[in-house]
């Protein structure tokens, strides 16, 4: 992540569904973080978790 100057990456396995469904599963990785956060559920819940992570980042600056 440092090579590309990324603060956060959200990834999902496109081969395991998600497109055309109400639910999905993503992994949220933050720069310097030692853990990967897994979020599974409704896409709205996933969006809220992503925004929450972004909010934490913005408050750190």
Q: Where are the domains of the chain?
A: 2-60
Q: Which pLDDT tens digit goes with each residue over 4-61?
A: 888 899 999 877 766 788 899 999 998 887 889 999 999 999 999 999 999 987 777 6
d(CA 31, CA 33): 5
User: Which of helix, strand or coil describes residue 25?
Assistant: strand
d(CA 14, CA 26): 10
Closest by CA position to 8, among listed 49, 54, 51:
54
pTM: predicted TM-score of the whole model, two decimal places: 0.81
């Amino acid at each position: 992540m440092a090579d590309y100057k990324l603060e956060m990456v959200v990834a999902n396995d496109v081969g395991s569904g998600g497109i055309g469904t109400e639910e999905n599963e993503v992994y949220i990785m933050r720069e310097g973080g030692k853990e990967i956060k897994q979020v599974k559920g409704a896409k709205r819940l996933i969006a809220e978790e992503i925004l929450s992570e972004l909010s934490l980042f913005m408050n750190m600056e």
